[in-house]
Chains A and B, each alone.
Chain A
Amino acid sequence: MKFTRGLKDGLPIALGYVSVAFAYAVQAVNQGFPFWFPILVSATNFTGTGQFVGTNLIAAGANLGILFATLLVINIRYTLMSFALAQKMEDGFPLWKRAILAFGVTDENFAVAVRQPHKLTFPYLMGLMSCSFCGWLGGTALGAGASELLETLLAGGAHVYYEVLMSALSIALYAMFVAIVLPPSRDDKHILLLVLLSVAASCVFYFVPALADLPAGLNIIICSVACTAVIAAVFPRKEEEPEKTQDGGEA
């Protein structure tokens, strides 16, 4: 389990991350953030959904307690993944090595690492995680740079094209999320039920005036925790089922 083997396994993940990170950065710059901000967030966080929601909340001026709680709900799944990874690591990992590897836990890195038949070594995990992280950071930088460049190029009379293009790009991440959620919903009727329930709850919070006035982010916490709690109670998963993983491209 060498470093180069990890790099090789990380390459397809990195390619998927480039497009997601690109879309994230475009969205952030389009919201009015300076180009360095999405790059700073990608460099310090390395988590797709969490960054996207966190950046939206900062733009909306949400308070820090809401930001903290929302990110906690979105990222709590990592706790389980890290746990499973810890079981698969070879003995004698010092704390400082674990502290470095913890940063690189993402849905896709976890999915690849946990599938390995052997115990995981430090060089292998470093190869895997650093490769996909390069894709993540590189994609963010490309997206931030491209947004700034396009705004300069499409100035004056061509500005309408810039606005149409940015409007079109702002659907990119949502479309990717649809592509993550829909296929497993076809395969597992419990996931489908959860998704439909969540969408219904989300619509209630969006369209009912009193609920729509709640602080930004609170709707995500309430809807997802309540719906998941119900589905997990009614349809607990059987333990022998293999872990299904979300396919490719979302950190």
Chain B
Amino acid sequence: MNATLTDMLIGCLVMFAVTYMTKGITLLFAKKEIKSAYIRSFLYYLPYSVLAVMVFPTILFSTSSLISGIVGTAVALLLSFFRKGLLPVSLASIAAVFLTEFLLYVF
């Protein structure tokens, strides 16, 4: 990482400004309802797309070896498919990566 103290503080300020703006603008000022079915649909769908883009394929390379990344991803997919909560999915995935990397290290 090569961010300086100034980068961090200015970066945090920009993040705060954008986040507060998106949260506040309609709460503070909007009078009319958003009627367009297209815009409402777009805003409804967008978070799912953002999360999907963020997760794949980066999750495979998020750990220190591709093998453990694949194992962790498989565990997360399997448990999520059966609707386990965020915490169980996350803990199981962490455990799978830890175990895989430990085995890779030992053997």
Contacts and interface: CB of A to CB of B under 8 A. Distances in A.
Main SS of the interface on chain B? Answer: helix
B31 to A, nearest CB: 9
B27 A49 contact: no
Contacts of B79: 179
Interface size class of chain B, counting residues whose CB lies under 8 Å from the partner chain: 35 or more
Contacts of A11: none
B87 to A, nearest CB: 5
B44 A170 contact: no
Contacts of B7: 58, 61
Interface in A217-232: 219-220, 223-225, 227-229, 231-232
A219 B57 CA distance: 12
Contact of B52 (A51, A202, A236, A249): A202
Given A172-B90, A180-B51, A41 B22 contact: no
A68 B18 CA distance: 7
A160 B20 contact: no
Interface string B19-44: 11011111110100110011011111
A69 B45 CA distance: 18
Interface string B35-77: 0011011111111111111111111001111001100110111
12 contacts: A44-B15, A59-B1, A78-B23, A80-B34, A174-B62, A174-B76, A181-B48, A228-B46, A229-B42, A232-B42, A236-B41, A237-B41
Interface of A: 16, 19-20, 23, 31-33, 37, 40-41, 44-47, 49-54, 57-59, 61, 64, 67-68, 71-83, 85-87, 95, 98-99, 101-103, 105, 107, 160, 163-165, 167-186, 190-191, 194-195, 197-199, 201-203, 206-207, 219-220, 223-225, 227-229, 231-233, 235-237, 239, 243, 246-250
